[in-house]
Structure formats: C-alpha cells, structure tokens
C-alpha cells in the first residue's frame, strides 16, 4: 500500500503476482482447505514445484489473503472515521467495518487463529510475515483514538492501540464461533462491548482509580513480548 515501485515488475514478480491472484480467487470460491496447491499452480499456469519456488508453503499464500482483507478493512473504515468524533462512535466504526469485511470469509477464518496462535506460523503477529498486518491494525486504532473528542492520559494512550487491537482479535475469535443467524450475537457483542470499553477508558482517567490504572499500564508495558521486527 505505501510502496512505490519505480522499477517495472520483473518476470518473476509477475509470475508471483499471478500465483497470488489465482490463490485468492480459489480461496474465495472454495475456501482454504479445499484449495490445493496443485489447483493454485494450474490456475496460475505454473507447475506445482514452481509455485513452491515463490511461496515456501501454503500459509504464506494465506498471508497474502489476509493482507488483502486487511486493506479492504482500512478502505472501509477510513471514510466512516471521517464522520465520527466520539471515541465510542469511532471504535464502533472500526469494529463494525471489520465485521462487514470479513463476513464473506466466515467459513475459513478460523485459520487465521489457528495460525495466529502458532509461534511458527507466518501469520502470527510475532512472526515477521504477520507482524506488519498486526502493526497496521494497531495503527487503525491509534487513528480512531487520536481523532476522537475524548481526552486520554498520555501513558494510557501509548498502550491503547495494541490493547484495542487485542480486544478486536477477541471479537473476531468470538465471531468465528458464533453460529447465530447473521452473526447477530457478535454484532450485539460489538455494540455493547464498545460501550463498555469506551466507558472504561474514561473511567481510567478517574483520579480514584489512578493507582489501579498505573499498575495495569505498567504491566502491559513491562510484559509486552518482543516482536521480531
């Protein structure tokens, strides 16, 4: 997204692009498991071995897919953020747009978590290949926060983006298991939990709770796991 490519794409780059495109289309049509590397290779017009030359394993293709989903989320959320000034409204915009964007992929979104939880997987936020998306996700929450009318103490503001991103991952995990029609339970969860989160953030500024707040912030700060960047 933020890349500028002055060079024309080399042959290899174009082949790689074809493979990604084929994979994304097949993932959308059949889901991840049902899409075989052989299918991807054939659809891209390359041999199986050649596909593996570009993508060490199938998960890395999935990472490309998640990048696309993430970018669709940003594209969906930005304009909505333009219309909201309250913290509550802005968080709601980010989360609801997320649900809208991922909705078509419910059947295989579990994979995101399968991989996100696995330290070896390129999709987990502590793996180089997955770290970008996680950081950009945090950036979106940083925006939501920065543009809001709610004043947040500095020390808290520094930690909130990653906390909110973690919270949003929790929502997605709930959504994955949500079998209610139209995933209405998840939508209810978003509406109601966003309210609580927004209240909590305001509550956290209350002087009475200051010692407690400090402890939480210090905990989060001290124990953040190193990212591979």
Partner DNA sequence: GTCTATAACCGGATAGAC
Partner DNA sequence: GTCTATCCGGTTATAGAC
List contacts with its own copies (CB under 8 A): 110-111, 113-120, 124, 126, 173-174, 176-179, 185, 188-189, 192-193, 195-196, 199, 203, 208, 212, 215-216, 219, 222-223, 225-226
> Site mask, DNA, residues 38-67, x = CB under 7 A?
x------xxxxxx-xxx-xxxx--------
Torsion of CA 157, 158, 159, 161, to 10 degrees: 70
What DSSP assignment string belongs to 28-87? HHH-TTT--HHHHHHHHTS-HHHHHHH-SSHHHHHHHHHHHHHHHHHHHHHHHHHT--SH
Task: Find the binder of DNA among 17, 31, 36, 224 (CB under 7 A).
Answer: 36
Q: How far apart are the first and last CA of the chain?
A: 19
Nearer residue to DNA within complex by CB, 13 or 195 = 13
In angstroms, the Cα distances linking 159 to 66, 104, 128 are 25, 31, 21
Q: How far is the CB of 118 from DNA (least distance, A)?
A: 12
- Which one of its own copies, DNA, none interacts with residue 15, CB within 5 to 8 A by kind? DNA
Contact positions vs DNA (CB under 7 A): 10-13, 15, 35-38, 45-50, 52-54, 56-59
């Amino acid at each position: 997204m933020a890349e500028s490519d002055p060079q024309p794409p080399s042959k290899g780059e174009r082949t790689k692009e074809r493979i990604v495109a084929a994979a994304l289309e097949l993932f959308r049509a059949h889901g991840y498991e049902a899409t075989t590397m052989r299918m991807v290779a054939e659809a891209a017009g390359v041999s199986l071995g050649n596909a593996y030359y570009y993508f060490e394993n199938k998960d890395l293709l999935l990472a490309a897919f998640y990048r696309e989903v993430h970018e669709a989320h940003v594209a969906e959320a930005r304009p909505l953020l333009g219309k909201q000034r309250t913290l509550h409204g802005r968080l709601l915009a980010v989360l609801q747009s997320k649900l809208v964007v991922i909705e078509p992929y419910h059947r295989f979104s579990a994979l995101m978590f399968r991989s996100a939880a696995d330290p070896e997987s390129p999709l987990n936020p502590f793996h180089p290949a997955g770290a970008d998306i996680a950081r950009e996700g945090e950036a979106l929450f940083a925006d939501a926060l920065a543009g809001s009318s709610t004043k947040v103490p500095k020390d808290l503001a520094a930690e909130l983006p990653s906390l909110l991103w973690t919270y949003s991952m929790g929502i997605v995990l709930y959504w994955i298991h949500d079998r209610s029609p139209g995933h209405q339970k998840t939508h209810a969860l978003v509406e109601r939990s966003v309210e609580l989160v927004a209240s909590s953030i305001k509550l956290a500024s209350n002087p009475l709770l200051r010692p407690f707040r400090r402890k939480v912030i210090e905990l989060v700060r001290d124990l953040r796991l190193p990212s591979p960047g």
